[in-house]
Amino acid sequence: MDPVVWFWLSVIVLAGMLFLPVSNLIWVVSVRRTQRKVNRTLSDNELSGQKKRARFLSFFLCIAFSFLFCLNTIGMPHNG
């Protein structure tokens, strides 16, 4: 398999595997911080908004971490 394809496939697979745990971690921390700040439990709309925000942030965080991790372990592939 081409090293460039292998590198990017590794980045995508690692990011996909990290996405759910990272988004859940960000969501839990965000909800707890917000509940402590407003001193009440959040409504369903507020919880779904926090979930969307957590997923948005975790997408970019997982891609960046996965790229840097693969770059450090595999190295930048060379074409040809």
At 2 the pLDDT is: 87
Between CA 69 and CA 67 the distance in angstroms is 6
Average pLDDT over residues 13-35: 97
Q: Token pair 């496939």 is at which residue? A: 9
Number of domains the chain contains:
1
Note down the domain range covering 33. 3-73
Q: How confident is the model at residue 1 (pLDDT cuts 50, 70, 90)?
A: confident
57 falls within a domain:
yes
- 80 occurs within a structural domain: no
* Cβ-proximal residues to 7 (8 Å cutoff; 6+ apart), any chain: 70, 74, 76, 77
**Residues 39-59: tens digit of each pLDDT:** 999 999 999 999 999 999 999
pLDDT at 80: 59
pTM for this structure?
0.85
